[in-house]
Each structure stands twice: as structure tokens, then as C-alpha cells.
């Protein structure tokens, strides 16, 4: 295409030069023979320029035909690719729109404070579902899609982990001095400030606590610093309060 444009430029320049030459006045002593010779030469030039112009126009026509063919081939290749991935052009466009919306939502959530994020669990869950949908679609196999979905998924996980404060550790004291049992530990303001949340502590430490009625001084309990839900309050028997073990009663 660059060569064609270069030829067109040269042809245009030659036409301008020829027109300028015709515009120049001939000397008064210009003879008929000289005039005929000049006219014949100019006609030859015009014929040559017309030939060059026709050739360039033919090259342009061929280049346009080649471009149209390549575009058609590219379209067929894309449609074949979409078909292999169980989709079509509309599905491809819809996927890219969904991907763009998910990226915009992640950016919006990232701009929030930790407190705002804790109040945006519904939006976080919706974004997670969007990412799952994008990841489950075969169109994710397209390299650009795969790169963007991977970055989206990684960004979401980083954001989600940042929302959840790290667990803290609590060292069990004695019953005589600290009155420590799961019920009383959960009731502490710095823990959950809710005695009915004792099953949450038990479930987080079931490898250590086999029986929620029995804990021992010195045990290290992992305390998940997350919001207490109704399911967290559900014990082995609804409403039961774990009792301090008799072994702890005798400890000093």
C-alpha cells in the first residue's frame, strides 16, 4: 500500500509539472516544426502518465480486493474459533462487556475503605459470582481473556483477604482466677462480647477442644475476628451453655 501511495504521488507531481510546462509561453520565433514536435512529445508524456495511472488504479483495485479477502478470511477464522468455544460473535462481545464490568467493579471496591468493604459483602459476593461465570466460560481460553480473568481473580482474592482480619490467639486461664470457659471467653468485650457465640470458638479449635465443656489452662485458642452470625451461635444443643470442666475447678 505504501508503494501505491508513492506511485500516486509521483504521477500527481508529473501532471503538475506537465501543466506548468504547458502554461509557459513559447517564444515568438517558435516554428511549426518545433510546435508539432513539442505537441507530440507532450502527447507521449500524457499517454505514459495515463498508462502509469491505469496501472496504479489497477494496483489499488487489487490491493482492495486482497484486503477484502483477508478480512473475510479473518472473519471466518474468528467465527470458527467462537464455534469451537461454544459461542458466536454476539457471545464474544457479551463476554467482553461482562469482563469489563467486573474489572470496573473491582476497581470501585478497591477504592473503598476497610469499613466500607465490610458493609459491601453483597457486592463482593456478586463480583465473585461474576468471576466464576467468566472463568467457567470457554471463551476464557482466548489468551487476552485468560490474562484479564486471571488478573481479576487475583485482585479479588487480595481484596477479600484484606477484608478478613487475621485470627488472634487467646491463652486459657484458670477457672478460679479467670473464670475461663468458652461461654465466658466469648462474652469478653475484646473477643465477641456475646456468650452465645461460644460455638464459634469451639469450631475454630476442634482439633484442640474435643469436648466444649472441657478446656485447660494454657491452651492456645484461635479467635476468628469476623462478625458473629446466627450459625455461629448454634451449639451441639441449641441454647446449651458449656460447663467448665471439673478438672479446672480444682486448679489454682
Element (H, E) at 164: none
* pLDDT in the model for residue 243: 53
Instruction: Measure the CA angle with vertex 89, ends 86 and 93; round to 5°.
Output: 105
Query: Cα–Cα distance between 113 and 225 in angstroms, integer?
Result: 18
User: Hey, what's the torsion of the CAs at 193, 199, 201, 206, to 10 degrees?
Assistant: 170
**In angstroms, what is the C-alpha Rg of the chain?**
41
* pLDDT in the model for residue 138: 93
* pLDDT in the model for residue 252: 37
Query: Cα–Cα distance between 176 and 163 in angstroms, integer?
Result: 38
Q: What is the pTM of this model?
A: 0.48
Helix (H, G, I), strand (E, B) or coil at 170: strand
Residues 6+ apart with CB under 8 A from 35: 26
**Averages of pLDDT over each 10 residues, the chain, 252 residues:** 56 54 56 83 90 91 90 88 90 94 93 82 92 94 93 90 78 91 92 91 89 91 83 60 48 40
* pLDDT in the model for residue 73: 87
Query: Cα–Cα distance between 185 and 217 in angstroms, integer?
Result: 12
* pLDDT in the model for residue 38: 85
Residues 6+ apart with CB under 8 A from 191: 170, 185, 197, 201, 223
Query: Cα–Cα distance between 93 and 203 in angstroms, integer?
Result: 46
Query: Cα–Cα distance between 128 and 134 in angstroms, integer?
Result: 10
Helix (H, G, I), strand (E, B) or coil at 44: helix
* pLDDT in the model for residue 120: 87
Centre a 10 Å sphere on the Cβ of residue 73 and count the other Cβ atoms it contains.
Answer: 10
Amino acid at each position: 500500500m505504501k508503494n501505491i501511495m508513492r506511485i500516486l504521488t509521483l504521477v500527481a507531481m508529473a501532471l503538475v509539472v506537465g501543466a506548468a510546462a504547458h502554461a509557459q509561453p513559447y517564444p515568438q520565433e517558435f516554428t511549426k516544426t518545433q510546435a508539432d514536435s513539442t505537441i507530440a512529445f507532450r502527447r507521449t508524456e500524457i499517454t505514459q502518465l495515463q498508462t502509469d495511472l491505469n496501472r496504479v488504479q489497477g494496483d489499488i483495485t487489487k490491493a482492495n480486493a486482497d484486503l477484502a479477502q483477508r478480512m473475510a478470511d479473518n472473519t471466518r477464522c474468528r467465527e470458527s474459533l467462537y464455534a469451537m468455544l461454544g459461542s458466536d460473535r454476539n457471545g464474544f462481545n457479551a463476554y467482553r462487556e461482562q469482563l469489563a464490568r467486573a474489572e470496573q467493579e473491582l476497581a470501585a471496591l478497591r477504592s473503598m475503605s476497610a469499613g466500607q468493604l465490610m458493609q459491601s459483602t453483597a457486592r463482593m459476593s456478586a463480583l465473585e459470582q461474576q468471576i466464576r461465570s467468566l472463568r467457567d466460560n470457554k471463551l476464557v481460553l482466548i489468551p487476552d481473556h485468560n490474562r484479564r480473568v486471571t488478573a481479576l481473580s487475583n485482585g479479588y482474592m487480595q481484596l477479600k483477604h484484606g477484608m478478613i482480619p487475621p485470627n488472634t490467639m487467646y491463652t486459657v486461664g484458670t477457672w478460679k482466677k479467670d473464670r475461663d470457659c468458652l461461654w465466658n471467653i466469648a462474652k469478653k468485650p475484646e473477643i465477641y462480647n456475646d456468650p452465645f457465640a461460644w460455638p464459634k470458638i469451639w469450631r475454630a479449635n476442634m482439633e484442640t477442644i474435643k469436648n466444649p465443656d472441657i478446656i485447660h489452662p494454657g491452651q492456645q485458642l484461635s479467635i476468628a475476628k469476623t462478625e458473629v452470625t446466627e450459625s455461629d451461635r448454634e451449639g451441639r444443643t441449641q441454647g446449651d451453655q458449656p460447663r467448665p470442666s471439673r478438672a479446672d475447678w480444682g486448679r489454682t
